[in-house]
Amino acid sequence: MDWKENHKTMHKYEIIIYWSTEDGVFVAEVPELPGCMAHGASHEAVLRNVNDALRVWLDTAKEFGDPIPEPKGQRLMLA
């Protein structure tokens, strides 16, 4: 997939990635979409997985007529 195709499918929601010592994996959360998260063995894997989870979250919300929040376009949390 080239950059333009990838850019069209990218979502503009904040994604937070962190290492979970307890689970031994990277975890990614999308704070603007409640419950939207994924895990993976590497940054690349967790990013692929969370993008899949994000698409499923949005598709499910559309299917059931649930509201879909607009991306805020700014950092939501500071550590």
Please write the tens of the pLDDT for every residue from 4-54.
444 444 679 999 999 999 999 999 999 999 999 999 999 999 999 999 999
- What would the two tokens of residue 4 be? 């333009």
Give the ranges where the chain is alpha helix by DSSP (H). 3-9, 43-64
- What would the two tokens of residue 61 be? 């919300």
pLDDT at 79: 53
pLDDT at 76: 64
pLDDT at 74: 76
